[in-house]
Structure 1
């Protein structure tokens, strides 16, 4: 078992060393029982969606409860319980009008989209949601080796061995902790400017929908390590390993990893095109967007028809050339 995990004294579930309580039963973590952490957890009136499984708390001003992730109104009120409290919140900077404009422009881009989608798409639901993320930081030490064709003067071989070391500090590595948005969606919304984080007390969270942390820290940690390894390998390849190289090996050691829970702003929209409803997301800080959309089957069939016609033409030409060759050889 990893040194970063310990067992809950009540249910036996695994608890990360940075966790304050067990994610299964809510029992306070053994290493935190003597710690004074008044703002580390909170008890809230929350709702869970039976349609997509999202757990969230709603604005006190909300008149009708509807899941912003799937549009379902089949929500169940949960009992007061401990949840992870964000240490910082990134406030919304993108207005509703700006988010709508971004959606209109983005959904019409791409060859495979229907040409009339930007005009005919109807926004059915649009909600500003604070989505949970884990924000990781760590030190990375790297030792790398490679063979390069850039051999020194007088070398007898065609390849020359190289090696080196690199150390770096990475901050703000984000791992989505949403239970309703996919890892690809939370990743596509990045980056965020983490320096603009404010205290949750100053963020007026009672006026927004706030999704609770659905991905425990112990599950986010391996994804953060994968992200750190990707960043470091890219840095080594770009800065140190010569362009003409082979057998590149990069060995990393990640140290002093820490994390904090944060809430990041996302506009969540549902738009309808013809009879189908699609989800579209806009980064509430900088306007970066991602989402799903319909495929133009007319264009798809046109491309397939063109490919088949070209393939058939090549086959016919090949047959004719083969027949002529046989004729002349006879």
Structure 2
């Protein structure tokens, strides 16, 4: 007799905080920095963390699956069939809409076992402020369809999402070899219209160069999600990571959290590419001169640490005439980014208007002549 499959383990943390007065769920209020119950208005102060310092984790230990068990958690997630985003849902939610692409999603009982966040950047803007910032951004896009603007302004609720990121620290020491170029000029005689003339010709004198550079990289920030285009999240920078708080699930009350889908090792590959670009800049500065040629850079990377952090994003996904438009707002600063919509009618009108205006100007110029 075959045995039934073992059910997945229950999530360790559901990020629910019942109101002490009525039993409804609290939510984190970005304005007051407290938990508030929308049902009865009762508020509750945030619990003080017992972790005053946000500690880094050892990268190599994580790769070898040797992190302490307390650094691992399981959360209940639902996977979007369209964009593959893995978003944490409340256990009472059975059906919802993917906040990243507006695709209907049926909440399942799947769990995601992952490295627990070490820090969170709490939301500083409420939903109304984020909505106003998005509408202002759309208002400055003259070629955006009016229908989309009106659809966005109807006040459809935006989703507050904590988006996962990796940060990496590393100590690097690099040894390089190359050449330093010094620009100088020589006079040459050339014939112009049959007459000799002197001109200055640029030359470069190259000399060997070698040396060492060192740099400590602190909090190289790498997106750990595939649900949003990286260009969107890059455009939301800068983030003030000095406001990071030690991770507490209370900050997630009333918000959703996306599980990371870019593994730690893959994130490090991107971070290392960023480090290499900075190191190359350091080498060119160290070589000096007017020109630089780099033959070789050998970099030794030590003391690699990391942390999994959550950054706040307000997100809206609108379906307009069969196309999904996504807009994201930095939940700390209000900076907006999204897919730029275009109105064919407005573009056509602008082209025609420009042609008519050019014709009128040309007519008056010809008459004046």
Cα distance per residue 1:70-91 (max 9 Å; x no partner): 1223224133452221011111
Q: Does 2:115 correspond to 1:87?
A: no
Kept in 2: contact 1:132–1:177 (CA 8 A): yes
Match of 2:131 in 1: 100
Q: 1:204 to 1:306 in 2, by over 3 A?
A: closer
Match of 1:169 in 2: 216
Match of 1:11 in 2: none
Q: Of 213, 234, 238, which residue of structure 2 is paired with 1:187?
A: 234
Q: Specify the SS of the correspondent of 1:149.
A: strand
Q: 1:93 to 1:161 in 2, by over 3 A?
A: farther
Cα distance per residue 1:258-290 (max 9 Å; x no partner): 211111111111245566431011111222222
Match of 2:180 in 1: 147
| Cα separation, 2, equivalents of 1:195 and 1:133 | 15
Alignment of 1:5-84 (within 5 A): 17-19=60-62, 29=65, 32=66, 37-59=68-90, 65-80=96-111, 82-84=113-115
**Shift of the alpha carbon at 1:20?**
7.1
| Cα separation, 1, equivalents of 2:69 and 2:293 | 52
Cα distance per residue 1:164-205 (max 9 Å; x no partner): 432111111111111311233332223322222212226432
Q: Specify the SS of the correspondent of 1:293.
A: coil
Kept in 2: contact 1:59–1:206 (CA 8 A): no
Q: Specify the SS of the correspondent of 2:96.
A: coil
Q: 1:79 to 1:118 in 2, by over 3 A?
A: closer
Kept in 2: contact 1:268–1:280 (CA 8 A): yes
Q: Does 2:254 correspond to 1:222?
A: no
Over alpha carbons, which structure has the higher Rg? 2
**Shift of the alpha carbon at 1:131?**
0.7
Kept in 1: contact 2:94–2:106 (CA 8 A): no
- TM-score, normalised to structure 1, is 0.70
Gapped regions of structure 1 (runs ≥ 5): 1-15, 22-28, 152-156, 309-330
Moved more, 159-168 or 47-56: 159-168
Alignment size in residue pairs: 277
Kept in 2: contact 1:89–1:262 (CA 8 A): yes
**Shift of the alpha carbon at 1:69?**
0.9
| Cα separation, 1, equivalents of 2:345 and 2:230 | 31
Gapped regions of structure 2 (runs ≥ 5): 1-58, 185-202, 356-369
Alignment of 1:239-278 (within 5 A): 239-240=285-286, 242=288, 244-249=290-295, 251-256=297-302, 257-271=304-318, 276-278=323-325
- TM-score, normalised to structure 2, is 0.63
Q: Of 329, 332, 344, which residue of structure 2 is paired with 1:297?
A: 344
Match of 2:54 in 1: none
Comparing both structures, which one devotes a greater share of its residues to strand? 2
Kept in 2: contact 1:233–1:250 (CA 8 A): no
Q: Specify the SS of the correspondent of 1:159.
A: strand
| Cα separation, 2, equivalents of 1:223 and 1:272 | 32
Kept in 1: contact 2:89–2:107 (CA 8 A): no
Q: 1:162 to 1:49 in 2, by over 3 A?
A: same
Kept in 2: contact 1:51–1:74 (CA 8 A): no
| Cα separation, 1, equivalents of 2:291 and 2:353 | 41
Q: 1:271 to 1:47 in 2, by over 3 A?
A: closer
Match of 2:5 in 1: none
Q: 1:266 to 1:249 in 2, by over 3 A?
A: farther
Moved more, 118-127 or 215-224: 118-127
| Cα separation, 2, equivalents of 1:144 and 1:301 | 56
